[in-house]
Amino acid sequence: MELVNTKQVQEAINSFVNKEVYIHLETTNGAYASHRNQSFFSAGAYIRNAKVQYEIGKITGKGPYRVGLKINLGWIYAEGITHFEIDELGRLLLAGHDNEGKLAVALEISPTPFE
């Protein structure tokens, strides 16, 4: 993965507009927890192979970035994106790493289901 290039990421996001795609989205404590070392606070979310079609997709911010996908009944957001990759299968892989290099958030968009 490499640091986000907003132009390349936006082009990849645009390539999936109005197409059925599969979404993988996950967060870990690093994404939203400012007090990660306190054992009483834990946060996370995980969804895999959600089949969606979005009409608008945007990457915004000055880094770390926010990616939003406008679906029929609302939005899918991933905040804290720092890195990206477009793999050999044509999938857009986005990740956000914290100051220690640990994965905090991942958003992946694929034309085919994830394994």
Tokens 């289901």 appear where?
113
Lowest mean pLDDT among 11-25, 69-83, 92-106: 92-106
Between 85 and 32, the more confident residue is: 85
Whole-number pLDDT of residue 35: 45
What pLDDT is stored for residue 101 in this prediction?
Answer: 86
Output the CA angle 76-81-106, nearest 5 degrees: 65
Q: What is the dihedral of CA 26, 21, 113, 77, to 10 degrees?
A: 0
User: CATH: 2.60.40.150, 3.30.1370.60, 2.70.180.10, 2.60.120.10. Which one for 2-110?
Assistant: 2.70.180.10
Domain residue extents for the chain = 2-110
| pLDDT tens, residue by residue, 14-68 | 999 999 999 999 998 654 444 445 555 567 888 999 999 999 999 999 989 999 9
Which pLDDT band holds residue 74 (cuts at 50, 70, 90)?
Answer: very high
Q: State the DSSP string of 26-42.
A: EE-HHHH-TTTTSTT--
User: What are the tokens at 75?
Assistant: 């939005």
How distant, in Å, are the alpha carbons of 33, 34, 37, 99, 101 from that of 13?
27, 29, 35, 26, 25
pTM (two decimals): 0.87
Residues 80/45, Cβ–Cβ less than 8 Å: no
